[in-house]
Copies of this chain bind each other. A is one copy, B any other.
Amino acid sequence: MATYPQHKISLPVIKRLPRYLRHVQLLQKACVETVSSSELAAMLGNTASQVRQDFNCFGGFGQQGVGYNVVLLCKALEQLLVGGSHLPAILIGTGRLGCTISGFLGSTGAGFHLTAAFDNAPAQIGTALGGLVVQDVATLAEYCGASPPEVAVLCIPEDSASGMAQVLLSLGIKGFWNFSQYDLAAASPGVVVENVHLGDSLQSLGYRVRNI
């Protein structure tokens, strides 16, 4: 039996997977048993052909003509996206945004485990954040040597993000959830970065509403 994925999946396909999962989870909640690629496409606003192509990257998830079994499809997507052991993650920057995001990271079933939080502000260091105590960012290398994290969540200003990202890369961090405005993906091609550029999103919204 073939094992999937057998080749590198393209980023746009990966980015669509969570949306598929959300819609399939809704179908499962609604006790729908099967769903066709056309029905899924209509829910997501894309095409049946794209749904089938996307799913074929992972072996197809179902039989042609019969539609997808919702329970099995849901399980397969969950396995792809949040399956396996939780990824150890550290938070850099424990301001308002950092605290909110750490709560989010801890509360979802997204497959991560926040193991430590760091800041450089004396007022923050030593304070409680969830079940953690905020540590001095000066101790970062020591911490990463002892308990290697795989992911860093960057909730720091743009001007500190550039230097911090290089430090984290040198300490073996593989992926970044980047809330800073720093363009980490452009500066370090090949590094796994998921950007949440709130400012960009807000500016796009403003432009679009002003130019309806």
Nearest CB on B from A25, distance (A): 10
Q: Contacts A186-B45, A209-B150, A209-B175; is A203 near B81 (CB within 8 Å)?
A: yes
Number of interface residues of A (CB under 8 A): 60
Q: Contacts A19-B183, A22-B181, A186-B43; is A201 near B196 (CB within 8 Å)?
A: yes
Contact B175 A205 (CB under 8 A): yes
A99, A101, A181, A194, most chain B CB atoms within 10 A: A194
Contact A110 B189 (CB under 8 A): no
A-side residues, CB < 8 A to B, are 5, 9, 14-15, 17-19, 21-23, 43-45, 80-82, 84, 87, 96-97, 99-101, 103-105, 108, 110-112, 150-151, 158, 174-175, 177, 181, 183, 185-186, 189, 192, 194, 196-212
Q: Which residues of B contact A44 (CB under 8 A)?
A: 183, 186
Contact A100 B96 (CB under 8 A): yes
Q: Contacts A22-B183, A100-B100; is A202 near B105 (CB within 8 Å)?
A: yes
Give A22 to B201 CA distance when docked, in angstroms. Answer: 13
| A97 in complex: contacting residue of B14, B45, B104, B183, CB < 8 Å | B104
Contact A17 B194 (CB under 8 A): no
Nearest CB on B from A88, distance (A): 11
Contact A205 B151 (CB under 8 A): yes
A14, A15, A22, A209, most chain B CB atoms within 10 A: A209
Instruction: Write the chain B residue with the least CB distance to A45.
Output: B186
Contact B174 A212 (CB under 8 A): yes
| A210 in complex: contacting residue of B19, B21, B22, B84, CB < 8 Å | B84
Contact A200 B97 (CB under 8 A): no
Give A131 to B129 CA distance when docked, in angstroms. Answer: 26
